[in-house]
Structure 1
Amino acid sequence: MSDGRRGHSDGVSRRNLLAGLAGAGLAAGAAAFVATAPHDTGGADAADGASGAPSDVHDFHGEHQAGIITPAQDRLHFAAFDMTSTSRDDLVALLTAWTAAAVEMTAGRPVGGDPTSYDSPPNDTGEAQGLPASRLTITFGFGPSLFRDAKGADRFGLADRQPAALKRLPHFPADNLDPHRSDGDLCVQACADDPQVAVHAVRNLSRIAFGTAALRWSQLGYGRTSSTSTSQATPRNLFGFKDGTANLKAEEADALQQHLWVGAGDDPKGDWLAGGSYLVARRINMNMETWDRSSMREQERIVGRDRGEGAPLSGGTEFTEPDFALPGRGGRPLIDVNSHVALAHPSKNDGVRMLRRGYNFIDGNDDLGRLDAGLFFIAFVRDPVRQFIPMQTRMSRQDLMMEYLQHRGSGLFAAPPGVRPGEFVGQRLFA
């Protein structure tokens, strides 16, 4: 890499390419990034942060976006953005620039290459310099408001391409939502094994978006609360219980086709989404202090599993199927009918399953000295109308655990299919 004083040799050709894609309304931030985007070096640049061993890198390109069935990493930075421009060309330019940046960052390389001028700001924010790729994945999604805003305006000429299932999630019975932590035109899920790498990804994407889109809200997460591969042990949430035992796994090819990936014939308006999925995000505060004063018996009754092994209260080991009819004292089922496990189990939800990628969070404390902590719930589903909304409605009304939870943020996004080299994320939407 040069000392930063020379211009990049690819600048003119890339500017011409972007002009052809985005037209005259190109936002300055996106234009500056793509104009200086580096050519593929074919490997890591040691001066700017090695990408690490091949096992440390998840290719951004593929049939499906990485960060869905990818083995869940330990850290998360999730962000939602609102478009500040109403130009379709600016939106295309932003997605083009974001794609180019994601290709570089997931490979462990800095974004933007050499600056065009020594007196210009660096193209990369630099805080990940010297760090490996850390299995970084960057997953993008489109919110309902990208197609029609709150006033019903079709800002980008996309309304006739909005899938029927892509609607703002309803206000569930127990919700106490903060509008400043909900929804958004676009979302970015950055997952990595190093928190600095995940933060670096969102920070650079946010900077590229300047003048075209603004950060609406974001959430940091640590300690995955789900396993997405059979090679991973089931983690625990902040209540101390194993979480996501029945989660979809990457190795279940048939189940993924049935429950996760949008099919080509699912929705004529949403044909561009085939091979993609729907992302549900929910910020769930957990009343830790109240939970910590509850007896072990009460905690296990609420969850429907024992805390140590994670086995259902009907017996067996963690992966033993629960027996919801097995009687206990007084003839009542050993597993309470309103326990979390009973209400969330596929047998109680028309057989539907989901792929969860949630994370713990602790954001300090509130004014009363209580932890501002909980679960940042992320799930991917083929059809949120069938797979999420009915279950969440039922749980909001019946789940014994709701006494200890506050749902404070909510969002639904369509995660497009994967990107081939030379394409930008979501390109089929604009065809």
Structure 2
Amino acid sequence: MTDTPEPNAGGLRRRGFLRGAALGVGAVGAVAGGAAALAGGPASAATPIPTPTPQVDFHGLHQAGIVEPVQRFTAFLSFDVTATDRAGLTELMRTVTDRARFLTTGGTPAAVGITNSPSDSGTLGPDVPGDGLRATVGVGASLFDDRFGLADRKPARLSAMPAFDDDLDPAWCHGDLSLQFSAPDADTVLHALRDVARHTRGGMQVRWRMDGFTSPPRPSGTPRNHLGFKDGTANPDISDPAVANRLLWANGAGEPAWTTGGSYQVVRLIRMLVEFWDRVSITEQERMFGRSKASGAPLDGTDEFDKPKFAQDPSGDVIPLDSHIRMANPRTAQSDDSQILRRGYNYDRGMDSDGNLDMGLIFVCYQKDLARQFEMVQKRLAGEPLVDYVSPFGGGYFFALPGVRDRGDWLGRTLLD
């Protein structure tokens, strides 16, 4: 005869097990605490309060997030506008501006009645810290079709991003609007995404999204990408206004007047075939880049920021003629005029369907002229040895809007007014 268990006996046994496990954990904690006390250390320590990140003023001639140092975490999104007319687009841009202003400045979310849904997700607590959050908004070429009557206002050099011998996936390319949030903490970025998604429902729909991060400089200097090399060492010195005006900002020359203060934004989603790369010898890796992997210095130098001496190595005996740094920027008068401001982030999406590591780079750069700068660099890089280890699959061209001048201004006002 089979014994019949008493009702809920399994549940009782499970609760007893969990209670015993909890007691066991408590006992281990007590022993650990006692050991710490005997060693002269505290049995427990309060979680340290993070040091606030300096806030960047939301208002100004240019948007934040372009020239400031790269943050630890980012999310880059492309949107299709679902608003059906120019009034709807205007309302959308006003809403995006209002939310970005609040999120980057910080404050207490509006109080609501007990029967209403909360006005904030609460993931950052009852008060929203600015936390150094930056928001950067751009417009794509498709926004200037016949939906909103903006065709005659399109930035002169804005188009859909072409393929440069890439394997582009249409689902990961282009878009009407771009939005990048970046901050020192991942939860700050995700909180901002949820907030904007909530307030713009019906006005725009995510087309694609990629989250990224940067690593601390190891051991110093510029952060590294997933190939182990420093990324962005040779950026131009845009702290010099003359350099910034020459290479970065639209200033009305051949452009619609409303674009002044904006900049052309390129986003490239580049998968790095790290498992193949990790089997390549260090010597070959360094010759492909033209730099030391450890220090970041050019192969004819000792410091990361040493300028390579190409003129003294015309045959490429030290730095190969087909190395990345030599092809990207040959250090000639023409190439000096095609410099770009890089703002790259690493990404990691786990594994692909074949079980391979899926990681790479969110390449973001800003410039005054796409053809003269980014596209010129891309043409020079055609066929470089590094192409066997990277696979661009998405991204797009956008125009980062001029900044918001004051509290009465909003992103895209000069375009839509």
* TM-score, normalised by the number of residues in structure 2: 0.83
1:201 maps to 192
Distance 1:275 1:51 in 2: 34
1:238-253 to structure 2, matched below 5 A, reads 238-253=226-241
How far 1:59 sits from its partner (Å)?
1.7
Structure 1 residues 162 and 332: alpha-carbon distance in aligned structure 2, compared to 1, 3 A threshold: closer
How far 1:282 sits from its partner (Å)?
0.3
1:361 aligned to 2:352? no
1:363-378 to structure 2, matched below 5 A, reads 363-378=349-364
1:71 counterpart SS class? coil
Structure 1 residues 245 and 225: alpha-carbon distance in aligned structure 2, compared to 1, 3 A threshold: farther
Which structure 2 segments of 5+ residues have no match? 1-48
The amino acid of 1:278's aligned partner reads Y
The amino acid of 1:81's aligned partner reads F
Deviates more, 1:294-303 or 1:306-315: 306-315
1:147 maps to 144
Alignment deviations for residues 204-247 of structure 1 (CA, whole Å, 9 cap, x no partner): 11221111111111110011699xxxxx9311111111111111
The amino acid of 1:162's aligned partner reads K
Distance 1:429 1:306 in 2: 46
How far 1:367 sits from its partner (Å)?
1.9
Alignment deviations for residues 54-92 of structure 1 (CA, whole Å, 9 cap, x no partner): x52112111110001112211101111101122111110
Please, which of 320, 344, 356 is the counterpart of residue 336 of structure 1?
Answer: 320
1:29 maps to none
Distance 2:246 2:160 in 1: 23
1:114 maps to 111
The amino acid of 1:180's aligned partner reads A
2:157 maps to 165
How far 1:134 sits from its partner (Å)?
2.2
The answer to whether the 8 Å contact 2:232/2:343 transfers is: no
The amino acid of 1:242's aligned partner reads K
Distance 1:142 1:354 in 2: 19
Alignment deviations for residues 111-165 of structure 1 (CA, whole Å, 9 cap, x no partner): 5x223x43232222221225642211001000100002xxxxx100100100220
- What is the aligned residue count? 363
The amino acid of 2:123's aligned partner reads E
Please, which of 363, 377, 391 is the counterpart of residue 377 of structure 2?
Answer: 391
1:254 aligned to 2:254? no
Distance 1:265 1:415 in 2: 17
1:379 counterpart SS class? strand
1:170 counterpart SS class? coil
The answer to whether the 8 Å contact 2:67/2:238 transfers is: yes
1:141 counterpart SS class? strand
The answer to whether the 8 Å contact 1:66/1:137 transfers is: yes
Structure 1 residues 159 and 168: alpha-carbon distance in aligned structure 2, compared to 1, 3 A threshold: same
Distance 1:346 1:424 in 2: 41
1:91 maps to 89
The amino acid of 2:322's aligned partner reads N
Distance 1:390 1:292 in 2: 30
Larger radius of gyration between Structure 1 and Structure 2: 2
2:403 maps to 418
Structure 1 residues 225 and 384: alpha-carbon distance in aligned structure 2, compared to 1, 3 A threshold: farther
Structure 1 residues 134 and 417: alpha-carbon distance in aligned structure 2, compared to 1, 3 A threshold: same
1:297 maps to 283
1:30 maps to none
Distance 1:389 1:118 in 2: 55
Structure 1 residues 282 and 224: alpha-carbon distance in aligned structure 2, compared to 1, 3 A threshold: farther
1:16 maps to none
Distance 1:59 1:124 in 2: 22
The amino acid of 2:161's aligned partner reads L
1:317 aligned to 2:335? no
The amino acid of 2:290's aligned partner reads G
Deviates more, 1:126-135 or 1:280-289: 126-135
Structure 1 residues 52 and 158: alpha-carbon distance in aligned structure 2, compared to 1, 3 A threshold: farther
- Please report the RMSD computed on the Cα atoms of aligned residues, expressed in angstroms: 2.1
1:313 counterpart SS class? coil
The answer to whether the 8 Å contact 2:172/2:395 transfers is: yes
Deviates more, 1:333-342 or 1:131-140: 131-140
How far 1:273 sits from its partner (Å)?
0.9
Structure 1 residues 332 and 411: alpha-carbon distance in aligned structure 2, compared to 1, 3 A threshold: closer
Structure 1 residues 378 and 108: alpha-carbon distance in aligned structure 2, compared to 1, 3 A threshold: same
1:41-52 to structure 2, matched below 5 A, reads none
1:179 aligned to 2:186? no
How far 1:393 sits from its partner (Å)?
2.7
Structure 1 residues 400 and 323: alpha-carbon distance in aligned structure 2, compared to 1, 3 A threshold: same
The answer to whether the 8 Å contact 1:178/1:409 transfers is: yes
The amino acid of 2:64's aligned partner reads A
Distance 1:419 1:309 in 2: 40
How far 1:287 sits from its partner (Å)?
0.4
The amino acid of 2:155's aligned partner reads P
